[in-house]
Amino acid sequence: MGSSSRKKIIGLAGLLVLAGCSRSNAYRQDQNPASSGNAAAERGYSTSRIESMGQPRKRVIVFDFWNDTPNKANELGEFGADELRRYLHQTQRVIVPTDIKAKLATEEFIQGDKVRVSQLIREGRKLGVAVMVIGRMSRSIFRQRGDEVGLLRQKQSLAGVDIELKIFDVAGGREIMAIAKSGDSSTNTLVALDPNNTSGPEFRTEMLKMAVRNAVEQTVPEILKSVEKLGWEGRIAKISSGKVFVNAGKASGLVPGDILRVLTQGDDIYDPVTGAYLGRSAGQVKGTLEVLDFIGPDGAVSEIHTGSNFQEGDAIRLY
């Protein structure tokens, strides 16, 4: 065998050894649970992080804002709530129910400068939502400035709105966040070429709506952050023929095989002196359910995994 052939064989053998070493290291790492766990931890994965990433989406309802300003034109409060519902829906991080037909308005739950929390929470439980948002427009302003003379006069229109939002956790029966934001809008026009009649009430309302939209958009990240800190909770909707139907499913983010804890409904707690509503106590664990399949747009079929004496209305939480 010539020296050239021997060099080729030696080189090929060296490559095989290197490849074998590379595979062996990876193989040993795969076969070593402690090593694999450390690598996963270095990548940032943990049971708590995976749990937070896999939480089902929560149902959020937004009540029409209370327009507590002199400018009542064209239902600005309803517009603000619609904008918040739209923004929240676009994130796909929460569920904004569209099948709730009741006309809900913030001012129905306000007495003086106080929120009727217990009444609000009862409404949320009846509607089967996790979070409620109420809002108030506390100030709106519209101004115009520009040249007073000339054929082509420049005119600037300015609008500003202040809004206040309160977010409530239905399961906990408590307020979890208050937000105040300001929004504005502006436009410049040439008066002689103005087709929109910038002095009319319709233009003023449109400018105020744009200011409301600007203010509402600023609240969305804070709302999502507060909502996603809450633990998810659903409830048993029906028990029939050994199957347990729950009011959350594919749209919420449950998957077949999920284990759900079943809890009794807690008690509402009131201050014995003032009568103020303080919140709801935690329920007692009855057992667990295992998700089998889905029904409808957002319901699931489960079977009893452990425990007994489950009832319709019992709370469920992801195990």
pLDDT of residue 282: 76
Q: What is the mean pLDDT of residues 165-188?
A: 93
**Amino acid letter, 245:** F
CA dihedral over 275, 276, 278, 283, signed as positive or negative = positive
**235-245 burial code (b ≥16 CB/10 A, e <16):** bbbeeeeeebb
Closest Cα to residue 170, out of 81, 101, 265? 265
Q: Where are the domains of the chain?
A: 3-45, 60-228, 234-318
23-48 tens-digit pLDDT: 334 334 444 544 444 544 455 555 55
Task: Give 8's pLDDT tier (boundaries 50, 70, 90).
Answer: very low
Give the pLDDT of residue 72. 79
State the sign of the Cα–Cα–Cα–Cα dihedral 32, 33, 35, 40.
positive
CATH H superfamily, domain 60-228: TolB, N-terminal domain (3.40.50.10070)
Mean per-residue pLDDT, 214-222: 97
| Average pLDDT of the residues in 190-205 | 70
Residue type for position 133 = V
234-318 in CATH: which number?
Answer: 2.40.10.410
Mean pLDDT over 94-105 rounds to 81
Confidence (pTM): 0.75
Q: Is the dihedral of CA 181, 111, 82, 84 positive or negative?
A: positive
Strands (E), 170-217: 174-190
